[in-house]
Amino acid sequence: MPLTTLIDELRSLLCDAAVVSDPSELLVYESDGFTIAKARPRAVVFPTSTAEVIEVVKLLNRHDVQIVPRGSGTGLAGGCVAFDGGVIVSTSRMNRILRIDIENRIALVQAGVRNTQLSEAVWALPGGEGLHFAPDPSSQRASTIGGNAATNAGGIHTLKDFVSSNHVFGVEMVLADGTRLQTGGENGSSERGPIDWVGLICGSEGTLGIITSLWVRLAPRPLAFRTVVGTFASSSDASSAVAEIIATGLLPAAMEMMDGQMVRVVEEAFEFGLPANAQALLLTEIDGIDELLDEQADRIVRIHRKYQAITVQSSGDAERRQYLWKVRKGAFGAIGRISRSYCTQDACVPRSMLVEVLRRIDEIGREHGMRITNVFHAGDGNVHPIFLYDDRDEDQVQNTLRAAQKVLQFCVDVGGTITGEHGVGVEKIHLMPYLFDEPTMNLFSRIKRAFDPEERINPGKMVPSEKVKVRLLKPGRKVPQ
Beta strands per DSSP E along 370-449: 372-377, 382-383, 385-389
Quickly count: other Cβ atoms within 10 Å of residue 454's Cβ: 12
Whether 1 shows a pLDDT value over 80: the answer reads no
Distance CA 324, CA 319 (A): 9
The residue count for the chain: 481
pLDDT score for 476: 57
More confident residue, 443 or 155: 443
pLDDT score for 187: 66
Q: Kindly indicate the confidence band of residue 192, based on its pLDDT and cuts at 50, 70 and 90.
A: low
pLDDT, tens digit, for every residue of 393-405?
A: 999 999 999 999 9
For the chain, the average pLDDT equals: 93
pLDDT, tens digit, for every residue of 250-284?
A: 999 999 999 999 999 999 999 999 999 999 999 99
pLDDT score for 398: 97
Please state the φ and ψ torsions of residue 124, each to the nearest 5 degrees.
-80, -10
Whether 480 shows a pLDDT value over 50: the answer reads no
pLDDT, tens digit, for every residue of 419-474?
A: 999 999 999 999 999 999 999 999 999 999 999 999 999 999 999 998 888 989 88
Whether 479 shows a pLDDT value over 50: the answer reads no
Whether 290 shows a pLDDT value over 70: the answer reads yes
pLDDT score for 199: 93
Cβ pair 395, 474 in contact under 8 A = no
DSSP designation for 87: E
- DSSP string covering 203-225: TSTTSS-EEEEEEEE-EEPP--E
CA-to-CA separations, 243 to 111, 119, 418, in angstroms, rounded: 37, 32, 21
Average pLDDT in the 175-199 region? Answer: 81
Whether 186 shows a pLDDT value over 90: the answer reads no
Looking at the whole model, is its pTM more than 0.95?
Answer: no
Cβ pair 243, 284 in contact under 8 A = no
Whether 138 shows a pLDDT value over 90: the answer reads no
pLDDT score for 188: 59
pLDDT, tens digit, for every residue of 215-250?
A: 999 999 998 999 999 999 999 999 999 999 999 999
Q: Kindly indicate the confidence band of residue 3, based on its pLDDT and cuts at 50, 70 and 90.
A: low
Percent of the chain with pLDDT over 90: 87
Cβ pair 198, 150 in contact under 8 A = no
**Cβ burial, residue 399 (10 Å; 0-12/13-18/19+):** buried
Picking from 223, 475, 242, 193, the residue whose alpha carbon sits closest to that of residue 353 is 242
Beta strands per DSSP E along 61-110: 67-70, 87-90, 97-101, 106-110
Q: What domains can you pick out in the chain, each with its CATH number?
A: 97-220 (3.30.465.10), 225-333 (3.30.70.3450), 340-413 (3.30.70.2740)
Pairing of strands 372-377, 254-259: antiparallel
Q: Kindly indicate the confidence band of residue 477, based on its pLDDT and cuts at 50, 70 and 90.
A: very low
Residue at 340: amino acid letter: R
Percent of the chain with pLDDT over 70: 97
Distance CA 339, CA 328 (A): 18
Average pLDDT in the 119-144 region? Answer: 93
